[in-house]
């Protein structure tokens, strides 16, 4: 039973000592993902893909509730589409992948989509006629390609990744503004309710906003190693793309109007975010709502009680079907080995059942995040499990929230700012909002970027001055290192 491979099952470095190495081993050994033979790409293994499906299931429900419909547009985008919106083209140009084959009909060069604004809005310009067609709310689940040169980091940075991109069209900017924020709040809720990940949320600076947007809203998580992860963005595109793609409509009075647009997206980055936030030195700790299987049942088998124990385990599995339990009845592994494996794979609750438990009419329940053990009567399981899972979710969220809050530091001058960057804090400060000043910060202080101007509390302090240039502050803003 024991072979050489078993020895490598566990993670060999500690999260608090070398987070980068820990994270990589965690993703590989828990079988979430693997590296691909092509540089910059990775493989989502079944467990990793199951987590993506959890995100899809949650968010499809939310989108449908908001009147969004799913559709699918082509992977290839004609080069001329990029040239229609100049800022967008300039922003994405360095990382667009071009294919060698040209479109036979137009003779045009084709890009592999880095994002789909251009190809989708070309279609919208044909479909939109009247105010009765508005709003348009369409989402696509797709892969996109951005020819990154930085090193691949599983789920967090790669050339190809999976995401959803929502593309909406509105009669006016008031409706557009409202829903740009609405979908951002949907993302915030997703992070909190599904992933147990707290976020700060707000507006990107002029420098950091999406190429071609009037403004960009973002949610940002803060990792245990003191780096932020941009988890989702929602852009108000104004009328720029509509004008570039010739979109207009007849309003109620019969006048021709140009619509306002938004786009918003989240990606497989969310998997990396949740995994990095919560997991420990034994392996994954999956938040209960995110975990595809909430429960694993491990029978403790002795030959003379084998049938009775397995029979009871099967009964429990059937009764708990709602939690998609795994019954690990493999003969070739001992219980201790199975415990380690399921801890590595992050199943929230482990139920152990042996001959003594059978006699007592109970199971031993172990929760993944604390390792705490308790005995639960078999007939009480269906009532007890939701409580255990909810408590676990709340604990994980609260622990992450306390960590983030403990890292926030108020800074009002450059020296303290630099020190806080060194200490990997989430820096709250006053800022002039000017692109030149932000470029100066980026150039002179290594690895730090602005994260967001919070939607709540983003107004400038009275009499506040920019920490970098000393001009009057226009906002309160967060800076930090980031992934
Ligand atoms: Zn400044």
Which neighbouring-strand residues pair with 172? none
Range list for CATH 3.30.110.30 in the chain? 407-482
319 touches 381 (CB < 8 A): yes
Backbone angles phi, psi at 279, to 5 degrees: -70, 165
Centroid of ligand 1 to alpha carbon of 311 (angstroms): 69
Element (H, E) at 237: strand 227-238
Centroid of ligand 1 to alpha carbon of 454 (angstroms): 18
Query: CA-to-CA distance for 427 and 328, rounded, in angstroms?
Result: 47
Centroid of ligand 1 to alpha carbon of 473 (angstroms): 8
167 touches 117 (CB < 8 A): yes
How far is C-alpha 322 from the chain's CA centre? 25
Which neighbouring-strand residues pair with 426? 408
Centroid of ligand 1 to alpha carbon of 440 (angstroms): 9
Q: Give domain 407-482's CATH superfamily.
A: C-terminal domain of ProRS (3.30.110.30)
Centroid of ligand 1 to alpha carbon of 419 (angstroms): 18
Q: Give domain 14-278's CATH superfamily.
A: Bira Bifunctional Protein; Domain 2 (3.30.930.10)
Q: How many residues does the chain have?
A: 483
Query: CA-to-CA distance for 455 and 407, rounded, in angstroms?
Result: 19
What would the DSSP string read from start to end of 361-386?
Answer: TEEEEEETTT--EEEEEGGGHHHHHH
Query: CA-to-CA distance for 28 and 287, rounded, in angstroms?
Result: 19
Task: Return all residues near 307 (Cβ < 8 A) that are at least 6 apart.
Answer: none
Centroid of ligand 1 to alpha carbon of 358 (angstroms): 69
Which neighbouring-strand residues pair with 257? 249
Tokens of 278: 């919560």
Element (H, E) at 46: helix 46-65
Q: In sequence order, what E strands does 115-211 have?
A: 136-145, 160-170, 200-203
Query: CA-to-CA distance for 277 and 221, rounded, in angstroms?
Result: 9
pTM score above 0.75: yes
Centroid of ligand 1 to alpha carbon of 474 (angstroms): 9
DSSP summary character for residue 113: P
Centroid of ligand 1 to alpha carbon of 405 (angstroms): 25
Centroid of ligand 1 to alpha carbon of 468 (angstroms): 5
What would the DSSP string read from start to end of 202-231?
Answer: EEPPTTTS-TT-SEEEEEEEE-TTSEEEEE
Centroid of ligand 1 to alpha carbon of 461 (angstroms): 14
Q: Decide if domain 295-389 falls under CATH 3.40.50.800.
A: yes
Range list for CATH 3.40.50.800 in the chain? 295-389
Query: CA-to-CA distance for 118 and 82, rounded, in angstroms?
Result: 7
What would the DSSP string read from start to end of 137-152?
Answer: EEEEEEEEE----SPP
Cα torsion through 448, 453, 457, 459, rounded to 10 = 110
Centroid of ligand 1 to alpha carbon of 124 (angstroms): 40
Query: CA-to-CA distance for 227 and 260, rounded, in angstroms?
Result: 34
Which neighbouring-strand residues pair with 448? 481
Centroid of ligand 1 to alpha carbon of 229 (angstroms): 24
Centroid of ligand 1 to alpha carbon of 413 (angstroms): 11
Centroid of ligand 1 to alpha carbon of 469 (angstroms): 4
How confident is the model over 316-334, as pLDDT tens digits?
Answer: 999 999 999 999 999 999 9
Centroid of ligand 1 to alpha carbon of 234 (angstroms): 25
Centroid of ligand 1 to alpha carbon of 225 (angstroms): 27
pLDDT by residue for the chain (483 residues), tens digit each?
Answer: 444 444 457 899 999 999 999 999 999 999 999 999 999 999 999 999 999 999 999 999 999 999 999 999 999 999 999 888 888 888 888 899 999 999 999 999 999 999 999 999 999 999 999 999 999 999 999 999 999 888 899 999 999 999 999 999 999 999 999 999 999 999 999 999 999 999 999 999 999 999 899 999 999 999 999 999 999 999 999 999 999 999 999 999 999 999 999 999 999 999 999 999 999 999 999 999 999 999 999 999 999 999 999 999 999 999 999 999 999 999 999 999 999 999 999 999 999 999 999 999 999 999 999 999 999 999 999 999 999 999 999 999 999 999 999 999 999 999 999 999 999 999 999 999 999 999 999 999 988 999 999 999 999 999 999 999 999 999 999 999 999
Centroid of ligand 1 to alpha carbon of 215 (angstroms): 19
Range list for CATH 3.30.930.10 in the chain? 14-278
How confident is the model over 250-292, as pLDDT tens digits?
Answer: 999 999 999 999 999 999 999 999 999 999 999 999 999 999 9
Task: Return all residues near 232 (Cβ < 8 A) that are at least 6 apart.
Answer: 184, 187, 190, 191, 218, 219, 264, 265, 266, 270
Start-to-end Cα distance in the chain: 41
Element (H, E) at 344: helix 335-344
Task: Return all residues near 384 (Cβ < 8 A) that are at least 6 apart.
Answer: 365, 376
How far is C-alpha 298 from the chain's CA centre? 31
Centroid of ligand 1 to alpha carbon of 430 (angstroms): 8
Query: CA-to-CA distance for 276 and 224, rounded, in angstroms?
Result: 8
Query: CA-to-CA distance for 468 and 464, rounded, in angstroms?
Result: 12
Centroid of ligand 1 to alpha carbon of 417 (angstroms): 13
Backbone angles phi, psi at 476, to 5 degrees: -95, 135
């Amino acid at each position: 039973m024991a072979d050489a491979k078993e020895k490598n099952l566990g993670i060999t470095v500690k999260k608090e000592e070398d987070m980068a190495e820990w994270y990589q081993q965690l993703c590989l050994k828990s079988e979430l993902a693997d590296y691909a033979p092509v540089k910059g790409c990775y493989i989502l293994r079944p467990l990793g893909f199951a987590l993506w499906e959890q995100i899809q299931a949650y968010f499809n429900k939310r989108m449908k509730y908001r009147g969004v419909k799913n559709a699918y547009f082509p992977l290839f985008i004609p080069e001329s589409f990029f040239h229609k919106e100049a800022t967008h083209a300039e922003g994405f140009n360095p990382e667009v992948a071009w294919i060698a084959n040209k479109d036979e009909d137009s003779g045009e060069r084709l890009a592999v989509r880095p994002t789909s604004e251009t190809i989708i809005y070309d279609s919208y310009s044909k479909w939109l006629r009247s105010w009765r067609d508005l709003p348009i709310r369409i989402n696509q689940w797709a892969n996109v390609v951005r020819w990154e040169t930085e090193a691949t980091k599983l789920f967090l940075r790669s050339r190809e990744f999976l995401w959803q991109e929502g593309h909406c069209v509105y009669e006016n900017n008031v409706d557009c503004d409202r829903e740009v924020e609405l979908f951002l709040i949907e993302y915030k809720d997703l992070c909190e309710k599904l992933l147990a990940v707290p976020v700060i949320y707000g507006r990107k600076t002029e420098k950091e906003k999406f190429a071609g947007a009037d403004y960009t809203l973002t949610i940002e998580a803060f990792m245990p190693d003191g780096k932020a992860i941009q988890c989702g963005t929602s852009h108000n595109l104004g009328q720029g793309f509509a004008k570039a793609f010739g979109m207009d409509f007849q309003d109620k009075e019969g006048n021709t109007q140009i619509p306002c647009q938004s786009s918003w997206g989240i990606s497989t980055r969310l998997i990396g975010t949740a995994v990095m936030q919560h997991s420990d030195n034994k392996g994954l700790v999956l938040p209960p709502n995110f975990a595809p299987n909430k429960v694993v049942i491990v029978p403790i088998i002795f030959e003379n009680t084998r049938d009775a124990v397995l029979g009871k385990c099967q009964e429990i599995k059937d009764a708990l079907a709602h939690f998609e339990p795994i019954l690990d009845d493999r003969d070739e592994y001992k219980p201790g080995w199975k415990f380690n494996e399921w801890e590595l794979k992050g199943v929230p609750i482990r139920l152990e059942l042996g001959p003594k438990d059978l006699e007592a009419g109970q199971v031993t329940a172990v929760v993944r995040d604390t390792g705490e053990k308790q005995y639960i009567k078999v007939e009480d399981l269906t009532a007890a499990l939701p409580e255990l899972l909810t408590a676990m979710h709340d604990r994980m969220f609260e622990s992450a929230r306390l960590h983030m809050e403990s890292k926030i530091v108020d800074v009002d001058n450059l020296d303290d700012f630099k020190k806080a960057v060194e200490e990997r804090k989430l820096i709250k400060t006053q800022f002039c909002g000017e692109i030149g000043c932000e470029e100066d910060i980026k150039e002179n202080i290594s690895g730090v970027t602005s994260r967001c101007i919070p939607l709540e509390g983003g107004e400038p302090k009275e009499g506040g001055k920019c920490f970098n240039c000393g001009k009057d502050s226009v906002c309160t803003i967060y800076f930090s290192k980031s992934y």
